[in-house]
Chain A
Amino acid sequence: MLEYLELISEHIDTLMYGASITVMIAVTAILLGMALGLALCFGLLSRHRWIRRPCLAYQSLWRGTPILVQLLIVFYALPVIGLDVPAIVAATAALTMNTSAFQAEIYRGGMLTLGHGQFEAARILGIGVWPARIRILIPQMFRLVLPSLVNETISILKNTSLVSIIAVTELMRVSQQIVATNYRALEIYTATAVIYILMNTVLSMAGRYAERRFAATS
């Protein structure tokens, strides 16, 4: 046990560095995905077929294929069309587009639960379409979808581990590098698993706190 702790403490700085990159990628993807997902959600709810159909196709594509395949396509296809971006940008872009499709579905559910009455009332009071959406619909909808949103954040945090295969040095990649030098796969990978579990536990606790906090005001 002592030897195990010594081994981990020797590498804890590197692991923590990897974890910070993991958090950074996950947070960027979730926030950008939130904006894209909201836009997509209104596209899915649009009355116009030519807005709705492409949005549906986009969503079906990103929800229906493995995220690993999506990462590979974005990473290897971008240079083909002349965009030579660093691996970490390609990775964040792929995760963002993936989560935007899932978040759009979450928001769509929230909007449908909210009903049409609020929006109609706001319109009658002379509030514009976008101000009504941004100031009336979205804030209420976020309270409804908070639990699903926390789940999606956890799943994106877990999916960042896949980014390691396109050579982004986040937590998973860092632990692979450590194992490559000392061959202690079991010890290092279990430590990495513990770090992931800790991050996700903090996330779900924060989610539960936010749920209580926002439920109290209603």
Chain B
Amino acid sequence: MDILTNLVNWELYLEYGPLLLSGLATTAYICALATVIGIGVGLAVALLSASPVPPVRWLCRGYIEIMRGTPILILLFILYYGGPEIGLRLPAETVGVLGLGIYVGGYFAEIFRSGFQSIPVGQIEAARIMGLSSGQIITRIKIPQMLVLIVPPSINQVIILIKESALLSIITVAELTKNTTQMVNETYAVVEPYIAVALLYWILIEGVAHIGRKIEQRIKV
């Protein structure tokens, strides 16, 4: 115990605990919003990339390739520092949510696309012959069947998103990493803040993985 009390100054956590926890809350809600945007955009792009109109398909392909080919940091910089040049002045947090959302949208689109492709054409044709509308085909035939296939990679993607959200600290969003560096700067302590931040990210990510396993069990039955 002596080593533990010498190595780690536990009193620091009393003082900075609330700051770290509020950072964790910000990280969690930014990631939740970004996931919702990402799933929306991803679903739209995945549906449109099967469009019979070639330019629409090219646009979707281009969007996916750009999102998957650029670092998220450069996208955040374009939005945050480049935005004002064309009159787009957004607060850092909004840039964070939007940036992460449209970035992860490219990855979700790819996951959904592979999900849609897994459904045999025969089923779609059969559904159409039975008089189902294309909306009904998507919600009743395609989505329920592809859920089993897309839930594991989607959860994986959310976990990657949580870790990418640490970058928002660079554009001054007060999330977990930002608050941790603030603690480092104010206390000159290195060990305590970084142990805490690693643990808090780990807890958040384990939580998401746990929810993912629950969802997987539900849809399997």
Contact = CB atoms under 8 A, between A and B. Distances in A.
A185 B194 contact: no
B107 to A, nearest CB: 11
B66 to A, nearest CB: 6
Interface string B76-88: 0110011111100
Interface in B159-217: 162-167, 169-170, 177, 180-181, 184, 190, 194, 197-198, 201-202, 205
Contacts of A176: 77
Task: Give chain A's interface residue range (CB within 8 Å of chain B).
Answer: 35 or more
Q: What are the 5 tightest A-B residue pairs by CB atom distance, in nearest-first order?
A: A186-B82, A66-B166, A185-B81, A161-B71, A197-B69
A76 B81 contact: no
12 contacts: A64-B198, A65-B198, A65-B201, A68-B169, A76-B190, A185-B81, A187-B82, A189-B81, A196-B70, A196-B71, A197-B69, A201-B69
B168 to A, nearest CB: 10
B201 A64 contact: yes
A72 interface: yes
A73 B184 CA distance: 11
Contacts of B83: 186
Contacts of A148: none
Given A77-B190, A186-B82, A64 B73 contact: no
Best-surrounded residue of B163, B165, B170, B205 (most CB of chain A within 10 A):
B163
B75 interface: yes
A176 B78 CA distance: 11
A148 B166 CA distance: 24
B177 A68 contact: yes
A67 B71 contact: no
B74 A193 contact: yes
Contacts of B180: 69
Chain A residues touching B, majority SS = helix
B69 A65 contact: no
A7 interface: no
B164 A76 contact: no
Contacts of B65: 197, 201
A179 interface: yes
Contacts of A193: 66, 70, 74-75, 78
A160 B84 CA distance: 26
A206 interface: no
Given A72-B177, A186-B86, 4 more contacts: A67-B163, A69-B180, A185-B78, A193-B74
Contact of B202 (A65, A77, A184, A187): A65
A66 B194 contact: no
B71 A158 contact: yes
Nearest to A198: B69
A133 B200 CA distance: 39
A190 B194 CA distance: 33
